Amino acid sequence: MALQFYGAEIGSRLMLGSALYPSPEILRRSIAASGAEIVTLSLRRETAAGRESAVLVSLIEEAAVRVLPNTAGCHSVKEAVTTAQMAREIFDTPWIKLEVVGEEDTLAPDPFGLVEAARILTEDGFQVFPYTTEDLVVAEALLDAGCKVLMPWGAPIGSGRGLNNPYGLRSLRQHFPEVPLVIDAGIGLPSHAAQAMELGYDAILLNTAVAKAGDPVAMASAFAKAIEAGRQAFEAEPMAERDMASPSTPLVGLPFSMPES
């Protein structure tokens, strides 16, 4: 089944962030190597960057990818909503990756502010991609607020730790089988991305793991391959785990010797 976000069909299951790259040229080449069709962009960061932001926006436009503006760095509902409204005007898109920071050390989402902001933005015509945790109650509240996509973290932003809570992420997938789920944040290695896809997640959003690699272009390509492999493995229906050994060679038909009389 093709991946869809708010009715838009997306060919690639890898999404890229646009921060921290050594140069715009490296970002351009990384996007191409990844095959990504969606690139996130922080309005607050790019506005602060001044002239460099114009270069970055132009580069993303030339790459012919969809822009997913985000509200990174926002700590309140009002701040997030205002940033989203500005992003819609600048980028001419109803899409917004909604972030409301609740805790500084982990940059964990504020679940209360996130749900409130999601409801306000949905009622204002936005198509919201909320950055959340794997909490089932918060997920239900976000869906009730009008979100049709959920973006749970694997681990804190930029940590590279992979999937801190595979059980919780598996439970989220099982509880909402029809909802597009994107792992956002904490992925550090292609193997982490493959693991998430094997759990049945629909896509992966990366930034630091590619941008801060020794060779971002090669790493972007590696992630693309890992995500494809993980998705293919999920669709192939992996074998169930067992507590005990199970012989791979059948016992029926094996030669045996009779005891001497």
Active-site residue (options: 97, 148, 212, 225)? 97
Kindly give the residue spans of alpha helices, DSSP state H, lying in 161-215: 166-175, 190-198, 208-211
* CB-CB neighbours of 161 under 10 Å: 15
CB neighbours of 118 closer than 8 A, spacing ≥ 6? 98, 128, 130, 142, 145, 146, 147
State yes or no: is 225 an active-site residue.
no
Name every residue whose Cβ is closer than 8 Å to that of residue 238 and which is 6 or more positions away in sequence.
198
Place of tokens 């992925």: 187
Q: Which residues contact 90 (CB under 8 A, 6 or more apart)?
A: 43, 69
**Residues acting as catalytic residues:** 97
